[in-house]
Every structure is written in structure tokens, then in C-alpha cells.
């Protein structure tokens, strides 16, 4: 049984086939969030902190932290954001950058065993990121594309993942510290994307025996009711063997899909987590009268 262990200074999280699904909060990412980008660039990290706290309260087991802001000092901003997130929450962090120097400065300040997000199958990336991962004793997200781009054929993507796992081993990084992202295509554009992902996730689990993660919301790009598609995707991917995802715990439908999948997979003994979450909705979300009505109406038939 493959288990990926990551940690903060005080808390350990295990990603594994026989464990509850791990949600990596996606919100701390200035891509497409103009206000957040501007604030981070100007040294205002108040939203980073509140987003960190809100995601953990909503159920995130880990947090992804990205500081990709054009023309900004990404290594410095990423390191500062990580320090602040670690000061207000205790969950492990996925250090997210496409710039090696930023990964390096993030790792330098990080307390615990981080998840480095990410390395691809491109030669130059492999040889710059993997030594860094090894040096810091971190785990790493392996994205299954290489110099030839992203193949539409999931079996080609599987081969790229295999290459990264083998190269990591050459660098002394065990397969349990490589978490593969099989790359999820928008299903509105590629109708077979769903079955492709199930196929590759199952192969990654059964043949390569690695944990997996993905940016779950890509699948619904361009479609209405994205949360509905994301929920269907996560549920099916979990049944195929997906063990974590970078997604938003702030969407109730996403959380429900993940917790429901944990129940169905037998990863929520006696449904304790499910019952705790849905028997007593927290009082600050809606007034008492509505709560009662909803609970009564939530019977199966």
C-alpha cells in the first residue's frame, strides 16, 4: 500500500489508497484573481491568511500556495505567503510554482515535509526540480506531460508518469513521494476525457502504484453548473483510485461529493464523518428555521 506522508511543523497528512480522500485547497492562487494578485504584489497578505483559514475550516487537509504574478518577485512573495499560511494554519502545504527559484525559496522557509508542485517529464525540469525535492526530503507532484506537450492518449500520459517515477528513483526519491497528476481535459471539448481519466488513474494505481492528484475543476471548463460536473468527476475518479485533488473546499457540492465518495469507498467508518457533517449544519450558515426544514426535507424519498 503506497502512502505519501507530508507534514507541517505539527501535523502529518497521509495520502493513500485505503484512506479518506485528501483535499488540497486551491484558493491561494493569484491566477485569475486580480485583487489578490495586486495585494500580494504590494505586500498585503491579509486575503492569503483569511483564504487559508476559511479553506481549512471548510475541510481542506492541505493548502496549495501559488504566487505566480507577472513581473513580481515570485520567490520572495511565495516564501512570505508560505510563512504566513504556516503561522495561521497547521496543515501541510503544496508549494506551487513553475519557477524553480520560487520552489527553492519556498522550501527554504517551509517547516515540515512539503509537497512540491510540480515537476513535468521535460528533461530540464526533471534535472532541476528533482534534486531540490531530494535535498529537502519533500514529496513532489509529477505532471504527465513532456517536451512533446500533453498527449490526448492517456496511455502516453501514463508512460510519461512512469518515466518521472523512474527518474525520481534515480535521484533517491521513492515512488511513495511522487504524486502523479494525470492531467484532466475539459469534457466539454473532449467527450472521452472522463473515461480517459478513469483509465489512467486506475493504471497509475494498479500498475505504477502511485498516489494521484489533479486540478479537478478543469474538467468542467466552459460548461454550465460546473460544480455539478466537478462533483460527478471527483466521485468517479475516487472510485477509480484518485487519492487527492487540488480543488475548492468552499464549494458545498465538492465537499459533499468527496465525503460521499469516502462513505461509498468504505473510508468513513460507521459514516461518522458524514453524520457529523450533515446531522448538525453549523449554525452560522443559515438560520435555525431553515435548518430544520432542510433536514426534514433531506430524506431520500
Question: Which residues are 180's β-sheet partners?
Answer: 142, 212
- Which CB sits closer to a second copy, 111 or 227? 227
- Which CB sits closer to a second copy, 174 or 228? 228
- Which CB sits closer to a second copy, 104 or 262? 262
- Which CB sits closer to a second copy, 75 or 194? 194
3-state DSSP percent of the chain in helix, strand and coil, to 5: 50, 15, 35
Minimum gap (Å) between residue 96 Cβ and a second copy? 15
Helices 272-279 & 252-264, crossing angle to 10 degrees? Answer: 150
Minimum gap (Å) between residue 157 Cβ and a second copy? 18
69 close to 99: Cβ distance less than 8 angstroms: no
Q: Kindly state the greatest CA–CA separation across the chain.
A: 61
Distance, in Å, from the CA atom of 247 to the CA atom of 245, rounded to the nearest integer, reads 6
Minimum gap (Å) between residue 280 Cβ and a second copy? 9
- Which CB sits closer to a second copy, 114 or 184? 184
Which residues bind to a second copy, rule: CB under 8 A?
26-27, 187-188, 191-192, 194-195, 198, 217, 220-221, 223-233, 235-236, 238-240, 248, 256-257, 259-261, 263-266, 268-271, 274-275, 278-279, 295, 298-301
Rg of the chain taking only CA atoms, in angstroms = 19
Q: Which of 78, 73, 75, 72 is nearest to 29 (CA)?
A: 78
Minimum gap (Å) between residue 206 Cβ and a second copy? 14
CB atoms under 10 Å from CB of 300, counted, come to 3
- Which CB sits closer to a second copy, 59 or 188? 188
220 close to 253: Cβ distance less than 8 angstroms: no
Minimum gap (Å) between residue 111 Cβ and a second copy? 28
Minimum gap (Å) between residue 184 Cβ and a second copy? 11
1 close to 16: Cβ distance less than 8 angstroms: yes
Amino acid at each position: 500500500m503506497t502512502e505519501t506522508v507530508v507534514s507541517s511543523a505539527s501535523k502529518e497528512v497521509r495520502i493513500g489508497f485505503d484512506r479518506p480522500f485528501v483535499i488540497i485547497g486551491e484558493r491561494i492562487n493569484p491566477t485569475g484573481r486580480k485583487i489578490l494578485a495586486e495585494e500580494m504584489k504590494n505586500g498585503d497578505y491579509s486575503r492569503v491568511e483569511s483564504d487559508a483559514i476559511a479553506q481549512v475550516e471548510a475541510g481542506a487537509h492541505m493548502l496549495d500556495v501559488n504566487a505566480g504574478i507577472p513581473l513580481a518577485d515570485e520567490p520572495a512573495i511565495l516564501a512570505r505567503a508560505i510563512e504566513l499560511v504556516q503561522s495561521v494554519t497547521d496543515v501541510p502545504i503544496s508549494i506551487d510554482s513553475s519557477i524553480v527559484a520560487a520552489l527553492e525559496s519556498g522550501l527554504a522557509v517551509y517547516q515540515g515535509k512539503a509537497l512540491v508542485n510540480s515537476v513535468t517529464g521535460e528533461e530540464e525540469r526533471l534535472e532541476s526540480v528533482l534534486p531540490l525535492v531530494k535535498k529537502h526530503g519533500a514529496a513532489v507532484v509529477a505532471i504527465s506531460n513532456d517536451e512533446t506537450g500533453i498527449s490526448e492518449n492517456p496511455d502516453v500520459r501514463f508512460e510519461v508518469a512512469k518515466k518521472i517515477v523512474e527518474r525520481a528513483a534515480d535521484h533517491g526519491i521513492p515512488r511513495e513521494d511522487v504524486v502523479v497528476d494525470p492531467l484532466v481535459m475539459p469534457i466539454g471539448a473532449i467527450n472521452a476525457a472522463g473515461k480517459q481519466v478513469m483509465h489512467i488513474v486506475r493504471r497509475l494505481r494498479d500498475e505504477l502504484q502511485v498516489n494521484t492528484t489533479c486540478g479537478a475543476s478543469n474538467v468542467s471548463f466552459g460548461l454550465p453548473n460546473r460544480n455539478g460536473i466537478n462533483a460527478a468527476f471527483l466521485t468517479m475518479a475516487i472510485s477509480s483510485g484518485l487519492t487527492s485533488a487540488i480543488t475548492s473546499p468552499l464549494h458545498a457540492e465538492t465537499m459533499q461529493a468527496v465525503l460521499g465518495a469516502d462513505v461509498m469507498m468504505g473510508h468513513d467508518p460507521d459514516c461518522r464523518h458524514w453524520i457529523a457533517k450533515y446531522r448538525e449544519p453549523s449554525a452560522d450558515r443559515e438560520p435555525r428555521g431553515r435548518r430544520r426544514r432542510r433536514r426534514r426535507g433531506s430524506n431520500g424519498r
